[in-house]
Structure 1
């Protein structure tokens, strides 16, 4: 009996195989047969965000940005004319690309997330 050897797939091969499963009319089983592999392995790769193809327009991989929470030093705020909307607080975010966001008052979290995603690319 012939002994089976374990096939090692590169990350690029895994991404390519996972991308082929998104074609219209193509099943995971068909792609698995094309590469002489078990479909369960492809399903495992599809659950991994490194290999799974995302929706169009979305970044391929998620990333975490460093966050630093600092206390505001009294007297450091130059604009003392604060309206009631900004009384809710100030949020300051430094993004890796050199951008800095400073949000005062009430904000829409979804719109802020879209803005950060756009600046992070």
Structure 2
């Protein structure tokens, strides 16, 4: 009969294992199997502030941006209207960096978010 030995994990190893659980689509059970250990041990480490990953460790953390809805007249009767009026089904976004995006028709929201992040950075 094989004798089991208790493994001792260093603090750096515990931190590294805990950080691996924060990846997109990664479960604690997957990380536990990778190291041939029980997932409950990782959950214990995640509750310990010494090993828990920091909240800022997420690269694509969601955030809210200020939005202003501007009512523009459809006709140029009012000289206060700035620029052309976008067509129906079009969204127009002015970024803080001075860029203006005008999107018409179908679009991929994730690709649009990456574009806005790139222009704002």
Shorter-chain TM-score: which interval? 0.3 to 0.5
| Structure-2-length-normalised TM-score | 0.44
Q: Which has the larger radius of gyration?
A: 2
| Structure-1-length-normalised TM-score | 0.44
